[in-house]
Structure 1
Amino acid sequence: MKRKKLIVPLILLLAAAFYFVFLYKNKTLKFVPENADVVVLIDVKKLTGQYISSLISHPSKWSESKTKDKKKISLKNSGIRIPDFLQIFHLKDTKFSEWYSVVELKDPQKFSAFLKSNQFISKGKNVFQKDQIFIKIEGENCILGTSALAFDQLNQQLLQSPGKNTFSADRLINNSLGSISFISGQKTRNFSIELKDDRLEIKNTPQTANYTQLISNAGKENHFFEAELDAANIKNYAHFFDKSFADSSQVSHFKATIELEQVNDTIISYEYDDNFNEIEKKTYQKIVQPRYIINLKSQTPEKTWTYFQHKKWINAQDQFTAIPFQPNRIDRNNGGFIVKSTTNPIARSINQEQNYIFIKNDLLFSYLSIFTPEEKRILSEIDYIFYGNSGDNYLVKIQARKGILPLILRW
């Protein structure tokens, strides 16, 4: 009888524990500064649940932890207080490559040991670096970033004035794994992030245009990059690199096709024999070389040409120097310009009359030295990246290569 009386309280206790561990979420976002113009939120508990669910259904991953490097301290034991919503943000008027986050520390000593075990190098003043990741410890908090330039500013805004600019996660995320929000004053545009078994999708509406045929056609071609954008999309992308480009250049349509090829590059050096005679030495290395054709249309071609000349993007040989890959040539045509590589040129692809960008995971990622071996391993899982826009609907799709495991277990 006494056992039966204990069953109900025990069930309630387990239900309460399950709720607070897996379902309850603190939606207060106190680490988003007021001058953030882009905020990425990750629902950590939802991500954890999705990972556990995938892990349970793939027993081959259960024993993997036994083979991991025991000298490295895991993130779980790093002394970080794992938030319910991870807040990653970009600050207004900073480089597009600069992103930051702030997390709380429940054990600063453990966190220092974690940094050491993961080979972070001390830069002084509680700043540490490994590759492109910078970390600064400020009492019971730490600031993470792809740069250290805004650390002092963030410390002053966030850590010295806690709670001043807090707002709720409900403003940015709606029952999705994550979100990307573009903030301009009181206006916010939210895009959901969903992680599927073989792809990552970012979109602003549940219903998006059907790009299946477009993606299929682009995937069949031997193109590393293919894109077609109207004036509005050009302006959106130019905003990240050169805010004045779209308005000043008057470019109203952009169409580009790029192919990559691996070629042997000859390096000539000189040595001297014992009699000081000069000896030519040739060595060879494989490099990736792009072949491309770019079409630009303008409502006012003369103004566009003048703008290019003012920016010194056209030299005496009619080469378009804004593209670093030479040699090329820029020519005028009806209402616009064609820029194409002159070495082994490629044909222009057909206009699709749609706004899209298609990037195939080709030779480039494996040759870029800016990526670490681990980052290259992650990138190697990607088959292609696609961006599509139709009216007010936007979609970014990162498609993984076919594999036995779902993407969350591969990454």
Structure 2
Amino acid sequence: MKKKKIIVPLLLLFAVAVYFVVFHKDKTLRYIPENADAVILIDSKKLMGQYLFSLATHPSSWSGSDTKSKSSSSFKDSGIRIPDFLQVFHIKDTKFSEWYSVLELKDPQKFIAFLKKQKFADKGNSRFQKDQVFLMIKGDHCIAGTSELAFETVQKQLFHTSTAPVWNADQFIQNTLGSLSFMSGQKTQNFSIELLDDEIEIRNNSNQEVFNSIASKLQKGNNFLEMELDQENLRKFSYFLDKGIADSLRATSFKATANLEQVNDTIISYEYDDNFNEVEKKTFQKIIQPNYSIEIQSKDPERAWGYFQSKKWINGENQFTQIPFQPNKISQNSEGVFIKSTRKSVLSSPQLQENYIIVRNSTLLYSSLKTLSNKEKKIISDIDYVLYGNKSQDYWVKIKAKKGDLPLILRW
């Protein structure tokens, strides 16, 4: 009887501990500024649970888990307070590549020591940088970003404004590993993020059949890039490049096909001999260039052509100068404007009457990315393709990895 009296309270204590460690989550989001127009949330506890489950079900990874466990433990001991929901946001009217996050620090000095071990450069004024990661430490908080341009704005909005908004995780995420949300006024559009064994999916609809038809049509392709976009999709994507270009061209659709090729590039320079005569010097280097075909269907091809001319994007040889990979040739007919590389022709992929962008992996792609670290190159080389699809109000992005012995969460 005495043993039972002891065991029952212990089991209850264990159950309570498991609940708070595994299931209980603080859903209050304090670090999303009012002028954020996009938010990424990552459920930290769900991510850890998925990692531990994958580790337990793949004994072959145990022998190599020491390095990962050391790196994860060193991160836990870095002085950072790991939140239940990691909050990453984009600020309105900033570059698409600029994303920020705010982290709470348990021990700022310990965190600074951690940054030095990770070879972050100290830029002074409590700012640090390593590659494209920028950090600013203010008291018990750290503002992190892919840029430092909005650090002061973020600091003022979140730490010096009594009316800073407080969000709830349920507004963005529903029982998934993560979410991507776009906010416009009072409207919020949420996309779930799921990490599967060999793919990452981002979508706003659980109906897989919507996109299976698109994916099946692209199975036989082998081009590096294939894309078809209707007027609405073209308008949305052009927002990140030139907000008014789709309307200026009166474009109804956009189609492109491209392949990569390694070519010899000739560099001509000049030097002087002993008599100060100018001597031409030729050197050669191997570079990666695309061969491509682009079709812009337009309601008014003459207007589209005139728009390009007004921007001075067409030179005297009818080359489209906004594409740096020349030579190319731009032309028009009654249906639209066409741009094709002339060094090597590319057959346009079949018309599918779908909205999609697919980028397939190529050894020429990641072998040319010399600025990336070996780990980053390993991740890119492991990707099979990236696919975007849209049908009506349903959107979907799939990052498909090559088949491997381990799931992505243990590989990356």
TM over 0.5: yes
- Aligned-partner residue type, residue 401 of structure 1: K
CA distance in 1, matches of 2:219, 2:86: 34
Distance across 2 between alignment mates of 1:269 and 1:29: 58
> How far off its partner does 1:80 sit?
0.5
Cα distance change on mapping 1:326 and 1:219 into 2, 3 Å: farther
Give the corresponding residue for 2:348: 348
- How many Å apart are 1:371 and its aligned residue? 3.0
Q: Secondary structure at the match of 1:262?
A: strand
- Structure 1 residue aligned with 2:379: 378
Task: Specify whether residues 208 and 109 from structure 1 end up closer, same or farther in structure 2 by C-alpha distance, changes over 3 A only.
Answer: same
Structure 2: segments with no counterpart, 5+ residues: none
Separation in structure 1 between the aligned mates of residue 381 and residue 162 of structure 2, nearest angstrom:
41
- Could you tell me how far apart the structure 2 residues matched to 1:57 and 1:73 are? 21
The structure-2 alpha-carbon separation of the partners of 1:310 and 1:273, relative to structure 1 and needing over 3 Å to count, comes to closer
Within a 5 Å distance, the mapping from 1:124-139 to structure 2 comes to: 124-139=124-139
Paired with 2:357 and 2:53, the residues of 1 have a C-alpha distance of 33
Name the TM-score, length of structure 2 as normaliser: 0.94
Find the aligned partners of 2:139 and 2:381 in 1 and give their Cα distance.
38
Match of residue 327 from structure 2: 327
> Contact 2:34–2:164 (CA<8 Å) still a contact in 1?
no
SS of structure 1 residue aligned to 2:353:
coil
1:73–1:114 Cα contact (<8 Å) kept: no
Q: Does structure 1 conserve the Cα–Cα contact (< 8 Å) formed by 2:301 and 2:333?
A: no
Moved more, 106-115 or 279-288: 279-288
- 8 A Cα contact 1:263 1:289, kept in partner: yes
From the superposition, tell whether residues 229 and 186 of structure 1 become closer, same or farther in structure 2 (CA, over 3 Å). Answer: same
**Alpha-carbon deviation of 1:273?**
8.6
Q: How does 1:218-229 map to 2 (within 5 A)?
A: 218-229=218-229
Q: Name the residue aligned to 2:190.
A: 190
Matching of residues 240-389 of structure 1 within 5 Å: 240-267=240-267, 283-362=283-362, 363-389=364-390
Residue 148 of structure 2 is aligned to residue 148 of structure 1: yes
| Residue in structure 1 matched with residue 81 of structure 2 by the alignment | 81
Unpaired runs of at least 5, structure 1: none
- 3-state secondary structure, aligned to 1:240: coil
Alpha-carbon contact 2:211-2:396 (below 8 Å) kept = no
Q: Aligned partners of 1:297, 1:87: CA distance in 2, in Å? A: 40
- More displaced 10-residue stretch of structure 1: 113-122 or 162-171: 162-171
| Distance in 2 separating the partners of 1:23 and 1:68 | 24
- The answer to which of 144-153 and 314-323 deviates more is 314-323
Aligned equivalents of 1:77 and 1:128: distance in 2?
19
Amino acid of the residue matched to residue 64 of structure 2? E
Q: 1:167: how far off?
A: 1.1
Please give the TM-score of this superposition, normalised by the length of structure 1. 0.94
Does the aligned pair in 2 maintain the 1:208–1:395 contact within 8 Å?
Answer: no
Which residue is equivalent to 1:200?
Answer: 200
Percent identity of the aligned residues?
58
Aligned Cα root-mean-square deviation (Å): 2.3
Cα distance change on mapping 1:384 and 1:63 into 2, 3 Å: same
Deviation at 1:208, TM superposition (A): 3.7
Matched residue SS, 2:239: helix
- 1:395 maps to a residue whose letter is W
Contact 1:294 1:338 in 2 (8 A): yes
Deviations 1:101-121 (A, max 9, x none): 001001111101110010000
Deviates most, 186-195 or 361-370: 361-370
Q: In structure 2, how many angstroms separate the alpha carbons of the residues matched to 1:19 and 1:162?
A: 33
1:274 to partner: Cα distance = 8.8
Q: CA deviation at 1:359?
A: 0.3
The answer (yes or no) to whether the contact 2:295–2:337 under 8 Å persists in 1 is yes
**Is the contact between residue 210 and residue 391 of structure 2 (CA under 8 Å) also seen in structure 1?**
no
Contact 1:106–1:140 under 8 Å retained in 2: yes
> Aligned pair in 2 of structure 1 residues 276, 301: CA closer, same or farther (>3 Å)?
closer
> How far off its partner does 1:70 sit?
7.3
**Closer, same or farther: CA 404–288 of 1 in aligned 2, 3 Å:** same
* Letter in structure 2 aligned against 1:34: E
Match of 1:51 in 2: 51
Structure 2 CA distance for partners of 1:380 and 1:83, relative to 1, 3 Å: same
**1:219·1:360 contact (CA, 8 Å) conserved in 2?**
no
Maintained 8 Å contact 1:104/1:140: yes
Could you tell me how far 1:299 is from its partner in structure 2? Answer: 1.3
